[in-house]
Structure 1
Amino acid sequence: MIISLFFTSACSLLENAGKAKNGVTTIKIANYCSETHPQNIALREKFKPMVEEKTHGKYKVEIYPANALGDEEQFSSGVRIGSIQMAITGMGLQIANPKIGVVEWPYLFDNYEQANRILHGEVGEEIGDAFRELGAEPLAWTANGFRVVSANRKIDSMEDFKGFRLRMGNIPIFISTGKALGANVQPLALSEVFTALEQGVIDGQENPYVTLKESGFYEVQSHVTETRHMFSPNVYLMNKKFYDGLDKETQKIIREAARESAQYEWKLLQESEEKVKKELEKEGIEIIVPDEKFRSELEKSVEPVYEELYKKYDWAEELVNKIRAQK
Structure 2
Amino acid sequence: MKKMNIKKLSFILALSFMLTSLTGCLSSEERRKETGEREVYELYIACDSQEDTVTGIFMNTFADILEEKSNGRIIVNRYPNSQLGGDGEIAEAVQNGNITFVVQTSAPQVTFVPEAAIFDAPMAFKNLDVARKVLDGSLTEKLKEYYEPKKLRLLGIADQGFRVMTSNKRIENIDNLNGIKIRTMENPNHIAFWKSVGANPTPMAWSEVYIGLQQGSIDAQENPIETIVASKVYEQQDYVIKTNHILHTLTLIGSPNVIDDLPEELQKNVYEAADEAKVLARQQTDERSAGRIEIVEQSGTEILEYNEELFNTMKERSESVWLNLEKQIGKELVDLLRDEIYKAEVELGLN
Q: TM-score, normalised by structure 1?
A: 0.89
Paired positions, count: 320
Shift of 1:27: 2.0
CA distance in structure 1 between the partners assigned to 2:80 and 2:111 by the alignment: 23
| Contact preservation (8 Å) 1:104, 1:232 | no
Indicate how the Cα distance of structure 1 residues 182 and 115 shifts in structure 2: closer, same or farther if over 3 A, else same: same
Q: Gaps spanning 5+ residues in structure 2: where?
A: 1-8, 29-39, 345-351
| Contact preservation (8 Å) 1:29, 1:87 | yes
**1:321 is matched with which residue?**
338
After TM superposition, the structure 1 = structure 2 runs for residues 108-257 of structure 1, keeping only pairs within 5 Å, are 108-257=124-273
Indicate how the Cα distance of structure 1 residues 117 and 179 shifts in structure 2: closer, same or farther if over 3 A, else same: same
CA distance in structure 2 between the partners assigned to 1:36 and 1:221 by the alignment: 24
CA distance in structure 2 between the partners assigned to 1:97 and 1:106 by the alignment: 19
| Contact preservation (8 Å) 1:79, 1:136 | yes
The answer to whether the aligner puts 1:278 opposite 2:283 as a matched pair is no
| Contact preservation (8 Å) 1:103, 1:231 | yes
User: What does the per-residue CA deviation read over 1:130-183, in whole Å, with 9 as the maximum and x for residues that have no partner?
Assistant: 221211111111112211001123222222222211111111211111111211
CA distance in structure 2 between the partners assigned to 1:134 and 1:14 by the alignment: 19
| Contact preservation (8 Å) 1:14, 1:81 | no
**2:18 is matched with which residue?**
16
Q: Greater CA deviation, 315-324 or 109-118?
A: 315-324
Shift of 1:199: 2.8
The one-letter code of the counterpart of 2:69 is K
Shift of 1:17: 4.1
CA distance in structure 2 between the partners assigned to 1:9 and 1:270 by the alignment: 35
CA distance in structure 2 between the partners assigned to 1:312 and 1:59 by the alignment: 40
| Contact preservation (8 Å) 1:162, 1:182 | yes
CA distance in structure 1 between the partners assigned to 2:10 and 2:59 by the alignment: 33
Indicate how the Cα distance of structure 1 residues 51 and 320 shifts in structure 2: closer, same or farther if over 3 A, else same: closer
The one-letter code of the counterpart of 1:251 is Q
The DSSP-based 3-state class of the residue aligned with 1:106 is: coil
The answer to whether the aligner puts 1:76 opposite 2:91 as a matched pair is yes
**2:348 is matched with which residue?**
none
| Contact preservation (8 Å) 1:226, 1:287 | yes
The one-letter code of the counterpart of 2:79 is Y
| Contact preservation (8 Å) 1:17, 1:84 | no
**1:264 is matched with which residue?**
280
CA distance in structure 1 between the partners assigned to 2:277 and 2:247 by the alignment: 20
CA distance in structure 1 between the partners assigned to 2:228 and 2:143 by the alignment: 28
Q: Gaps spanning 5+ residues in structure 1: where?
A: 1-6
CA distance in structure 2 between the partners assigned to 1:60 and 1:317 by the alignment: 39
Shift of 1:121: 1.7
CA distance in structure 2 between the partners assigned to 1:136 and 1:119 by the alignment: 18
CA distance in structure 2 between the partners assigned to 1:212 and 1:307 by the alignment: 30
The one-letter code of the counterpart of 2:243 is T
Indicate how the Cα distance of structure 1 residues 195 and 64 shifts in structure 2: closer, same or farther if over 3 A, else same: farther
CA distance in structure 1 between the partners assigned to 2:78 and 2:12 by the alignment: 22
The one-letter code of the counterpart of 2:222 is E
CA distance in structure 1 between the partners assigned to 2:299 and 2:11 by the alignment: 50
Indicate how the Cα distance of structure 1 residues 131 and 227 shifts in structure 2: closer, same or farther if over 3 A, else same: same
| Contact preservation (8 Å) 2:19, 2:25 | no
Q: Greater CA deviation, 126-135 or 16-25?
A: 16-25
